[in-house]
Amino acid sequence: MKPFVYNSNPARIIFGTGTINHLPDEVKRLGIHRPLVLSTPEQSSHAAQIESLLKADGIEVAGQFNKATMHTPLDVTLEAMKFVTELNVDGLVAVGGGSTIGLGKAIALRTDLPQIVLPTTYAGSEMTPIIGQTENGVKTTQVTAKVLPEVVIYDVDFTYSLPVGLSATSGINAIAHSIEGLYAQNGNPVISLMAEEGIRALAKALPIIVENPIDKEARSDALYGAWLCGTVLGLVGMSVHHKLCHVLGGTFNLPHAETHTIVLPHALSYNAPNIPDVMKRIANALGQEDAIEGLNILLTKLKVKRALKDFGMEETGIDKAADLAVKNPYWNPRPLDRNGLREVIRRAWAGEPAMANIE
């Protein structure tokens, strides 16, 4: 056994069905008296449900802010900060996926307000000390414990409204966290166990959800897998896959989960020659003989789009993305080569099948 260091992030996790009913007690336990409820416009109904639940328990809700936006643009954060100041907010309740959770983190970064998160997707941001913010078309990330939520309430009931297509891409986004966790520079045996279990749970559940979105066991398994994968991401450093997705998403305003879904098999193909043992573990978790082929089979079952051009990225952006990908690089098991990364991006742009490896 190789020497390793294992740290865990502090968090209180409540998992199950109907767990939203724990929210008032958790708000009180944290000493929050005037929470602000955060959501995207699409999740406003969930935000209204949460506000009603809290008010019914005698909690004075400061209000709702339902303008959370993909990639956490600075102007939206600054607008939300005005609400926080003017309404005398002393805590945050975020309901939604990465956009809403990212906004909550951005506010917490500036205020240190306590956060309670109710995830409705499989993105896993709620389990990480990572915050990404976008300004003038450039997305940057930082890692700080200040943005970690104090409480995460996983309620399977809140995931039934997640559309089939987004369930699939959000789940693959989660799998990407665990795949990078398996070859992370600061990985360890505990993280690897969580990563493999997370991949296995999602790979089993997602095809069932695509065929039957209200399958209770599949929805529960997928949320469980997402929690594991998010936990993995929160404990390890990111590598080339996440670097590419941050560049592509922030620069070309591409949808987060869909970008991760498209890039994942190609980024893994780039690293494959340097991580043979990890490739075997991924293949095993996917229930296949080969990791790349396993991902191709899974993505086919999920009926997801495979090309960045389908989401509006122009071919002229390939070289710009390759240039940005080698700036301020993350650690990676294979050295970052511009030509190799350009080929990864080109294949992802064109929607070509992932190769066994990219030279």
Q: Does domain 12-159 have CATH number 3.40.50.1970?
A: yes
pLDDT band, residue 248 (cuts 50/70/90): very high
Residue 63 exposure: Cα atoms within 13 Å on the Cβ side: 13
Question: Which tokens hold the place of 220?
Answer: 């529960």
Question: Which tokens hold the place of 99?
Answer: 């956009």
Positive or negative, the CA dihedral 143, 144, 145, 151 is negative
CA dist 230 and 224 (Å) reads: 10
Per-residue model confidence as pLDDT tens digits over 250-309 = 899 999 999 999 999 999 999 999 999 999 999 999 999 999 999 999 999 999 999 999
Question: Which tokens hold the place of 108?
Answer: 């917490």
Q: Tell me the backbone φ, ψ of residue 63, rounded to 5 degrees.
A: 155, -170
- At residue 127, the pLDDT reads 95
- At residue 262, the pLDDT reads 98
Q: What is the pLDDT averaged over residues 179-189?
A: 96
Q: What is the largest CA-CA distance in the chain?
A: 61
- At residue 359, the pLDDT reads 63
- At residue 6, the pLDDT reads 79
pLDDT band, residue 345 (cuts 50/70/90): very high
Per-residue model confidence as pLDDT tens digits over 150-179 = 999 999 999 999 999 999 999 999 999 999
CATH superfamily of 164-350: Dehydroquinate synthase-like - alpha domain (1.20.1090.10)
Please name which of 135, 85, 76 lies closest in space to residue 105, comparing C-alpha atoms: 76
pLDDT band, residue 329 (cuts 50/70/90): confident
Sheet arrangement for strand 115-119: 12-16, 151-155, 115-119, 91-96, 35-38, 63-65
More confident residue, 101 or 140: 101
Whether 45 contacts 161, CB under 8 Å: no
Mean pLDDT for all residues in the chain: 95
Whole-structure pTM value: 0.92
- At residue 358, the pLDDT reads 67
Pair type for strands 151-155 and 115-119: parallel
Share above pLDDT 90 across residues of the chain, in percent, rounded to a whole number = 88
Residue 59 exposure: Cα atoms within 13 Å on the Cβ side: 28
Whether 240 contacts 264, CB under 8 Å: no
DSSP assignment of 289-334: SSHHHHHHHHHHHHT----GGGGT--TTHHHHHHHHHTSSPPP-SS
What are the sequence ranges of the domains in the chain?
12-159, 164-350
CA dist 278 and 236 (Å) reads: 15
Per-residue model confidence as pLDDT tens digits over 187-246 = 999 999 999 999 999 999 999 999 999 999 999 999 999 999 999 999 999 999 999 999
Per-residue model confidence as pLDDT tens digits over 90-131 = 999 999 999 999 999 999 999 999 999 999 999 899 999 999
CA distances from 74 to 100, 250, 299 (A): 13, 12, 33
- At residue 140, the pLDDT reads 85
From the centroid of its chain, how far is CA 322? 23
- At residue 10, the pLDDT reads 78
Among 22-31, 108-117, 137-146, 329-338, the least confident range: 137-146
